[in-house]
Structure 1
Amino acid sequence: MKLSENWLREWTNPDWDSNRLAEELSLAGLEVDGIEPVAPAFNNVVVGHVLSVEKHPDADKLNVTQVDVGQGEPVQIVCGAKNVVAGMKACCAMVGATLPGDFQIKKAKLRGVSSNGMLCGASELGLPDDGVDGLHVLPNDAPIGMDVRDYLNLNDTVLEVDLTPNRADCLSVEGIARDVAAVANIAWQQPFENMMVAQQGACSVEIKVQEPALCPKYLGCVVTGFDTQANTPKWMQQRLQRGGLNPKNLMVDITNYVLLELGQPMHAFDLAKLTGAIQVRKAVAGEKLITLDEKELTLTDDTLIIADDNGPLALAGVMGGLHSAVSDTTQAIFFECAHFTPLSVVGKARAYGLHTDSSHRFERGVDAQLPERALARALALFTKIAGGQVSEVNAQISAELLPQVKPIALRPERIVKLLGAYIANDQVESIFKRLGFSIENQADGWLMTPPSYRFDMAIEADLIEEVGRIYGYNNLPETPVEAPVRLPSLPESEQELYGLKQALVQRGYHEVVTYSFVEEAKQAVLLPELPYVCLQNPISDDMKAMRTTLFPGFLNTIAYNQNRQQNRVRIFESGLTFVQIDGQVQQVPVLGGAIVGSKTPNSWAVTEPRVVDFYDLKGDVETLLGMSHLQNRVRFVPHEYTIFHPGQSAAIQLDGKTVGFMGQLHPKHAKLTGVSGKVFLFEIRLDALSTKLVPSANAISKFPEVQRDLAFVVDGELPVQALFDAVESVESSILQGVELFDIYRGQGIEPHQKSIALTLKIQHTERTLQDEEVEALVAQIIDLAAQKVQARLR
């Protein structure tokens, strides 16, 4: 939220400069993100009255002006602005003035004519663009000779306050002033009187609230007979601009001004464009509304709207409709001021692709007692500026449905427990009195009743937070924290996630953290075989679906890095995926990674860099499996996935159950995700890696090892692992290991076949082997290989 410091100081004025004010607000939990002066430094610029304008005798584009600057004699200034005319008021920089950019104004001669100053445009003074090509024109009633900084109220700063969602009460000048006064322990006061303007006659607009639970209070009145040519005063325009809002017309500006001042959203309808009664109701599915920003919406039946007999007029608490909007030709206005519950507004603006100052406040909560004050303030401002007659207020209030303030118990010992400091009872009471709470003393403490605007107060801890915030967290003493340290023992059979991460880091990976919500279109295209869940109120449209895999986040990260000339990317992440199983959403912890680019970093020693392939990624995955001693139980089974390139993907199976998958990104998905090159990805369930074998000691055999080399001819498509499984299925206590040492295709082998050469390691732990035992084992292995994978000796 942005606000003018001078406006704030009208409500409360602590003896602090701008920096101290920002610091105190931040320490009180209202973090100030920035302090910006409304205009750059300049001096000795006054309001000048141009008395005469004559053409320069030697320059067609220059004029010689006589300017009254309030010093008796007029000063002569040569000016080249196109819009300079006699009788206008303009900003005049006197001789000796310093303009932004340290530009000094001196006496000069322009084409032989003396010039004693400079008439200035907005850009030359660093003011907002006024859309004028030439001098910045001042109103006719601007006092001649007055310092422009004082006249335009430029000795001001804009504070940008970043509020947490629970402090919706501070989304106004009044709200921040209350907190400033409480922190500074000074008085604050409303700089205007709470007075309702004189009312004449009943309101001609009937109001029907059909959803009182969502709108327990709706006020409205009609204003007629006002000056349609009345403009928004300059002071009000300045405050709106410094609050981040653009002035439009008086009627809209009044509602925006009250929004910034008191925090109550309001709306003004053109009375001539209303038909029948105003209705606060749910939309009928399919109804249309064109909003003020000319966006056509198709409404759903869970949307609260303001309507008349002809249909929707506005999204309740969000934005008005274009059809009923006020304009320069509006002759009569219907002002509305309502209390909409957060439940009626939350998520609706985002669902329709909108975000407004009104929805921002109603979603977080607005004081239910504020509409009467806000409407009175708006009517007082409007009639003071434009005149007019105001009808009686038509108030539809369901008092039993309005938020009820509940007292909260507060105990002194609990304050000490949570804040770690003793704060005297009278100080505690003083803090809550300054915050507007009602206090009732009890035997064990107090019963605190928060004011209606502090709807964030619900439990005792909320009150204690207020004590610490106003007392000053920086004033709390430093207290050593003492707590027994009980380190849980990690079972030896449990694999730590940290160890798995370190293994990937040592292989050149970098850990990333990506969002758990992804773009629905990408989710549906990349992995249509995995059912996903969409959020009802997503943060944005491209974060609508809950991820079923880490891959969308990986691909976004790779694209981001590649767009910044980082072509070698190796990343991993551990996190949750969300899958639907039997209609229920389950969270599945997984570990995944992605690689693209060269296998090794660029180096003088690498003469021919090689691009990573499927087997590089498989080696990384096998490293993780090896840490848990699972390599003998895991199989990489060819499997087709939509996201992967055909023939370049595999399911990772543990004891026959799929626990992960890996492969090369399909080229058709590269454009969709914005990546380039061959991208390889893997993902495996963490529970499959979390258990490891406990090391056990075995005696080393004293007896010699026998090795036998066997070369088998098998089908060319047979995975090597299948042959290993066949060989290792032999029931023997003397077969200690099997190793692959050669794969051959070529002369002497049929084109559709290949030769796989294995080394058998045979050894007995208690005696020397006999030749007959070895030969019997080899024969058994040859038979099993022939039976299971149709292998024959080469």
Structure 2
Amino acid sequence: MRVSASWLARHIDPAALPARPEDIGDAFVRVGLEVEEIHPAPEITGPLTVARVAEIEELTDFKKPIRYCRVDFEEQGDGSVRHRYVICGAQNFVVGDLVVVTEPGAVLPGGFAIARRETYGRISDGMIASAKELGLGTDHAGILVLPPGTAEPGADALDVLGLAEPVVELAVTPDRGYCFAVRGLARELATSLDLDYTDPAGRVGVPAADGDAWPVRITDTEGCARFVVRRVDGVDPAAPSPWWMQRALLSAGMRPISLIVDVTNFVMLDLGQPLHGYDASRVSGTIEVRRAVAGEKLETLDGQTRVLDPDDLLITDDSGPIGLAGVMGGASTEIPDAADLAEAGDGARVDVLIEAAHFASPVIARAARRHKLPSEASRRFERVVDPALPPVAAERAAQLLVELGGGTLAGGRTDEGGIPPVAPVRMPLSLPDRVAGVAYPRGATVRRLSQVGCTVELDTGADGQGVVVATPPTWRPDLRMAADLVEEVLRLEGYDTIPSVLPTAPAGRGLTPAQLRRRAVSRALAESGHVEVLPFPFVADTVWNDLGLAVDDDRRRTVAVTNPLDAERSRLTTTLLPGLLDMLVRNRSRGSEDLALYTIAQVVAPQEKPQAMPDPAVTGRPSDEEYAAIRAALPAQPLHVGVVLAGNREPRGWWGAGRPATWEDAVEAARLIGAAAGVELRPRRAERAPWHPGRCAELVVAATGTVVGHAGELHPKVVEAFGLPARTAAAEIDLDAIELRENLPVPRVSAFPPVAVDVALVADLGVPAADLAEALTAGAGELLESVRLFDVYTGDQVGDGKRSLAFSLRLRAGDRTLTGEEANAARDAAVAEAGTRHGAVLR
């Protein structure tokens, strides 16, 4: 939200406002608002003058339209008028218009100096400026035309335009929706500076109306609690918006368009109530607020025809939908401009229906995201708008259209629905002091709650102590419990007044074993060249088809998010792979080719039969039974470790070509995870989507035989669906499935030398190397320290359907030096076991 000091001064004593914009920003920060940026006044020097266009000569000898214009300034002492001739390419002005001329010697923002120069065969003695060139906005479609009567020719444009004024930009959090208006910001600033504040809504008189302005029916009262319509007849759509209004809109980052649109935008920014104007001649029959019917369509003001969802809230008449409630109006009831009216022969006046409604914030938020239509109106409705504002805002807009557009107020006002009741909140008078640990001055609590807008009464509690009974204002829906009132008192008294006292850490406490294990796994992966990422934890239902999961795969059963950040990804993920693969694609699109990414995060595995979640009161701790029921209703959320690899695992350089990442690297990453977790993971051939059937291994805890994850090369169809490089490999381990061992065995270091023995076994091609290694381990017994595969051979020497696998066995005893006979006996036992299990023979 952007706001200028002059706009704030409409509701606060301007003489008491700080002169420096930094001081205004500091005042906002003291009451908990975040200042994003203070935009300084545009740096303009030299003569910048208001002038009137006296003559326009169209130059037709060039590829684009060029105009040679005479602009007149102030009258001289001898009765003549000072003037200049300038070249201009804009077409949005006519003779008689007031414009801003930058005369030679002026310097515009960005160091753009103005000088007398020859161009297009003429002498241009200055420049007619646009709003963008003056630093007033981003609109560069045409030059800035001032409304008639704004100033006299020859006036200093710096003073007329208010260009010396900086603008404060604030980030408004979702719970402070009332600050999405100058009304709310001025209240907060006045509270911070202890200044008198005048509520602009209180200045608008809302007279009693005789009858309805237009028939309205609210069918969906859940989505729309109140709907107000005011009618203004005979508005001149060609009437210009006054400069004070245009300047206010420009300072807020909005482009002035036309009087009717500018009035609705100005009232929205000033009061916080979004408005919409309809051409009354294009509205037929009763206006109805209802949900959409599946298959209905609406052409919105941006010219797009949108297929509506049954969850969409609509404004309709007898012809069908005429607006997407709280988001954007429909093209069928758009107010035409004066040129369109003249061309159609409808005269130069238009009857306007002003809509001011109160819509449910979740409904508007879902619609805006569903149709990708974020608007200034939807941003405010998402944060909850004051339900008491609709008649006030409609009346204010109607008054402006009468005053500035020559319209006439029609009789009647439609006001369907009403204001939801606001429940009073009880709070012990001493609670803010006890929470903050500060003895606030007497009366501070009542004073601060009154500044917020609460109606405050004092009562006596059952214990005889004072109790505050505060009825929150309609614009503060977030004040619903005593803790909310405490926060307001502490915020306005100043967080900096609360002493910062760190609690004493109890002795003997540190990271839990689970936290230590997680850090060990993350450190081991990082040290081996993997990079940690934080993928998006939500997925779309379509991702499971891309991963090639079977219809009955448990991973398809997910938990839906009620109010998702992304409507297309509204499910909690059951595996880390979709997010990791998205991160892989994103990094490759940024130019990174060789990638080894990992993440450690929870996944959500829903129950087959979900249990009802109890809703305990927030006034105290849940009972043991309620706590147990809550825990039982929550889905399992195991901690997983995911790894994806693509490109080269070892880089290329002067030493030679790089080595591409393969399924073996994914398996090795899984084994590394197991080692960091304190267990040995052994790979075993398996088939599981999304891995390639012939290049997938399941990881088994050697001590228990528990399968805790899978690793290998992704299926080619998965690679194609995600747009991944060929041979992309991945691994995923369920870290919580590995038994947590708090006291790991102390490694024994032998002082006696090892004995290395090599064996080459010939076995069928279908026998996995891991199975042979497991058999050798079992046969060699306790003397075996490690087994490592170092060579694989296939060819005529071993026969068809066979292959030779060479293993290095490392033998060692902890209490003696092994003899040759003992080493050979262990080797023979290992070979015999491999032969018994898999029919392997020595080569």
What TM-score does the superposition give when structure 1 sets the normalisation length?
0.86
Asked if 2 retains the 8 angstrom alpha-carbon contact of 1:71 and 1:145, the reply is no
Greater mean alpha carbon deviation, residues 382-391 or residues 634-643: 634-643
Is 1:503 paired with 2:524? yes
Aligned with 2:10: secondary structure? helix
Which one-letter code corresponds to 2:729 in the other structure?
F
Aligned with 1:365: secondary structure? coil
2:39 aligns to what?
36
1:157 aligns to what?
166
Question: What does the per-residue CA deviation read over 1:472-510, in whole Å, with 9 as the maximum and x for residues that have no partner?
Answer: 333x25433233425447787996111111111221222
Which one-letter code corresponds to 2:373 in the other structure?
L
Question: What does the per-residue CA deviation read over 1:690-727, in whole Å, with 9 as the maximum and x for residues that have no partner?
Answer: 52484557999999999986654321221123234445
Is 1:513 paired with 2:534? yes
1:388 aligns to what?
408
1:355 aligns to what?
374
* Aligned with 1:290 (options 292, 296, 299): 299
1:91 aligns to what?
100
Which one-letter code corresponds to 2:410 in the other structure?
V
- For residues 793 and 707 of structure 1, what CA distance do their matches in structure 2 show? 17
2:424 aligns to what?
406
Asked if 2 retains the 8 angstrom alpha-carbon contact of 1:511 and 1:572, the reply is yes
1:753 aligns to what?
802
Which one-letter code corresponds to 1:620 in the other structure?
A
* Aligned with 2:503 (options 465, 482, 497): 482
Identity in percent: 28
2:469 aligns to what?
447
RMSD: 4.1
Is 1:370 paired with 2:389? yes
Greater mean alpha carbon deviation, residues 115-124 or residues 68-77: 115-124
Asked if 1 retains the 8 angstrom alpha-carbon contact of 2:398 and 2:409, the reply is no
- For residues 788 and 835 of structure 2, what CA distance do their matches in structure 1 show? 18
Is 1:650 paired with 2:675? no
2:573 aligns to what?
547
Is 1:720 paired with 2:740? no
Which one-letter code corresponds to 2:393 in the other structure?
A
Asked if 2 retains the 8 angstrom alpha-carbon contact of 1:284 and 1:299, the reply is yes
1:422 aligns to what?
439
Matching of residues 600-619 of structure 1 within 5 Å = 600-601=650-651, 606-619=655-668
1:239 Cα deviation after fit? 2.2
Unaligned runs of 5+ in 2: 60-65, 342-348, 460-464, 611-634
- For residues 57 and 445 of structure 2, what CA distance do their matches in structure 1 show? 71
Distance of aligned partners of 1:727 and 1:455 in 2 relative to their CA distance in 1, 3 Å threshold: same
- For residues 703 and 331 of structure 1, what CA distance do their matches in structure 2 show? 102
Question: What does the per-residue CA deviation read over 1:42-92, in whole Å, with 9 as the maximum and x for residues that have no partner?
Answer: 343222346679999xxxx99796844255354353433478987554434
Question: What does the per-residue CA deviation read over 1:639-691, in whole Å, with 9 as the maximum and x for residues that have no partner?
Answer: 34443345322222344543211122344544543443643211100113452
- For residues 808 and 137 of structure 2, what CA distance do their matches in structure 1 show? 83
1:599 aligns to what?
649
Question: What does the per-residue CA deviation read over 1:746-787, in whole Å, with 9 as the maximum and x for residues that have no partner?
Answer: 454213213345677889999999999999988776665444
Question: What does the per-residue CA deviation read over 1:612-637, in whole Å, with 9 as the maximum and x for residues that have no partner?
Answer: 33223322322222334432xx4422
Which one-letter code corresponds to 1:27 in the other structure?
R
Greater mean alpha carbon deviation, residues 24-33 or residues 159-168: 24-33
Question: What does the per-residue CA deviation read over 1:425-468, in whole Å, with 9 as the maximum and x for residues that have no partner?
Answer: 23343333332222323433533332221221122332232223
Which one-letter code corresponds to 1:472 in the other structure?
G
Which one-letter code corresponds to 1:177 in the other structure?
A
Aligned with 1:366: secondary structure? coil
1:177 Cα deviation after fit? 0.5
Asked if 2 retains the 8 angstrom alpha-carbon contact of 1:410 and 1:448, the reply is no
Greater mean alpha carbon deviation, residues 671-680 or residues 306-315: 671-680
- For residues 766 and 239 of structure 1, what CA distance do their matches in structure 2 show? 89
Distance of aligned partners of 1:409 and 1:778 in 2 relative to their CA distance in 1, 3 Å threshold: closer
- For residues 229 and 29 of structure 1, what CA distance do their matches in structure 2 show? 43
- For residues 591 and 207 of structure 2, what CA distance do their matches in structure 1 show? 69
* Aligned with 1:531 (options 546, 550, 556): 556
1:417 Cα deviation after fit? 4.0
Asked if 2 retains the 8 angstrom alpha-carbon contact of 1:630 and 1:692, the reply is no
- For residues 491 and 752 of structure 2, what CA distance do their matches in structure 1 show? 78
Unaligned runs of 5+ in 1: none
* Aligned with 2:84 (options 77, 90, 94): 77
Matching of residues 642-791 of structure 1 within 5 Å = 642-654=689-701, 655-670=704-719, 672-676=721-725, 678-689=727-738, 691-692=740-741, 694-696=743-745, 711-729=760-778, 736=784, 739-740=787-788, 743-746=792-795, 748-756=797-805, 784-791=833-840
- For residues 736 and 228 of structure 1, what CA distance do their matches in structure 2 show? 93
Asked if 1 retains the 8 angstrom alpha-carbon contact of 2:663 and 2:712, the reply is yes
1:525 Cα deviation after fit? 0.2
2:679 aligns to what?
630
Asked if 1 retains the 8 angstrom alpha-carbon contact of 2:73 and 2:83, the reply is no
Distance of aligned partners of 1:406 and 1:687 in 2 relative to their CA distance in 1, 3 Å threshold: same
Asked if 2 retains the 8 angstrom alpha-carbon contact of 1:269 and 1:324, the reply is yes
Asked if 2 retains the 8 angstrom alpha-carbon contact of 1:49 and 1:69, the reply is no
Is 1:469 paired with 2:491? yes
Aligned with 2:446: secondary structure? helix
Asked if 1 retains the 8 angstrom alpha-carbon contact of 2:361 and 2:381, the reply is yes
- For residues 222 and 240 of structure 2, what CA distance do their matches in structure 1 show? 38
* Aligned with 1:118 (options 121, 126, 137): 126
- For residues 62 and 758 of structure 1, what CA distance do their matches in structure 2 show? 88
Which one-letter code corresponds to 1:4 in the other structure?
S
- For residues 794 and 421 of structure 2, what CA distance do their matches in structure 1 show? 81
Greater mean alpha carbon deviation, residues 518-527 or residues 84-93: 84-93
Which one-letter code corresponds to 2:257 in the other structure?
K
Which one-letter code corresponds to 1:389 in the other structure?
L
2:482 aligns to what?
460
Greater mean alpha carbon deviation, residues 159-168 or residues 266-275: 266-275
1:266 aligns to what?
275
Aligned with 2:604: secondary structure? strand
1:592 Cα deviation after fit? 1.4
- For residues 705 and 515 of structure 1, what CA distance do their matches in structure 2 show? 49
1:318 aligns to what?
327
Asked if 2 retains the 8 angstrom alpha-carbon contact of 1:197 and 1:380, the reply is no
Greater mean alpha carbon deviation, residues 505-514 or residues 660-669: 660-669
Count of residues in Structure 1 that have an aligned counterpart in Structure 2: 779
- For residues 105 and 813 of structure 2, what CA distance do their matches in structure 1 show? 105
* Aligned with 1:335 (options 354, 379, 382): 354
Is 1:3 paired with 2:12? no
Distance of aligned partners of 1:3 and 1:517 in 2 relative to their CA distance in 1, 3 Å threshold: same
Which one-letter code corresponds to 2:425 in the other structure?
P
Asked if 2 retains the 8 angstrom alpha-carbon contact of 1:410 and 1:463, the reply is no
Distance of aligned partners of 1:572 and 1:487 in 2 relative to their CA distance in 1, 3 Å threshold: farther
Is 1:166 paired with 2:175? yes
- For residues 162 and 226 of structure 1, what CA distance do their matches in structure 2 show? 36
Question: What does the per-residue CA deviation read over 1:220-262, in whole Å, with 9 as the maximum and x for residues that have no partner?
Answer: 2333244354343333233223323333333333222211111
- For residues 494 and 42 of structure 1, what CA distance do their matches in structure 2 show? 62
Asked if 1 retains the 8 angstrom alpha-carbon contact of 2:201 and 2:392, the reply is no
Which one-letter code corresponds to 1:524 in the other structure?
N
Aligned with 1:156: secondary structure? coil
1:603 Cα deviation after fit? 6.3
